[in-house]
Amino acid sequence: MTLNRRKVLASTVALGLAAASGVQAQTQAWPSKPIRLIVPYPPGGSSDIIGRSISQALSEALKQPVVVENRAGANGNLGADLVAKSAPDGYTLLLCDTGALAISPSVYTKLPFDPSKDLRGVT
């Protein structure tokens, strides 16, 4: 990379960061209301226990209640569909395994949601 290309790249990155800083200052605080954690399996199973442990830790860290809702059925697809159709505002989370996201599109001919388009990962 030549010196001129480096200057252009550095200027572009600096401009992008400057533009993003104004947007960040205008965003609202998250979370400002309770969060729903959807577990697409029945209560009492290992996924439910993990979900309740995670919700407790999230509640303490975020200073907002995290409510666990079990929506069992169709190998986790009912709960995943609920989350896929909810508002993309970060207040509805899904805790599931690969069944509803990776295996179901191959097994079921018609799913009411597309895991790769309708859901986003949280890290």
Check: CB of residue 54 under 8 Å from CB of residue 46: no
Residue 28 in domain: no
pLDDT in tens, 58-107: 999 999 999 999 999 998 999 999 999 999 999 999 999 887 788 989 89
Q: Which of 17-21, 24-28, 108-112 bottoms out in mean pLDDT, i.e. has the lowest? A: 17-21
Residue 73 in domain: yes
Of the chain, the percentage scoring pLDDT greater than 90 comes to 57
Residue 9 in domain: no
Domain count, the chain: 1
Using CB atoms within 10 Å of the CB of residue 33, give its burial: 0 to 12 exposed, 13 to 18 middle, 19+ buried: exposed
Residue 25 in domain: no
Residue 4 in domain: no
Residue 121: the pLDDT is: 87
Residue 123 in domain: no
Residue 39: the pLDDT is: 97
Residue 26 in domain: no
Residue 101: the pLDDT is: 86
Domain range spanning residue 86?
Answer: 35-118
Residue 10 in domain: no
Please name which of 29, 49, 31, 33 lies closest in space to residue 41, comparing C-alpha atoms. Answer: 49
The residues near 118 (Cβ < 8 Å, ≥ 6 apart) are 84, 85
Residue 89: the pLDDT is: 92
pLDDT (average), residues 15-30:
58
CATH code for position 109: 3.40.190.150
Confidence of residue 15 (pLDDT cuts 50, 70, 90): very low
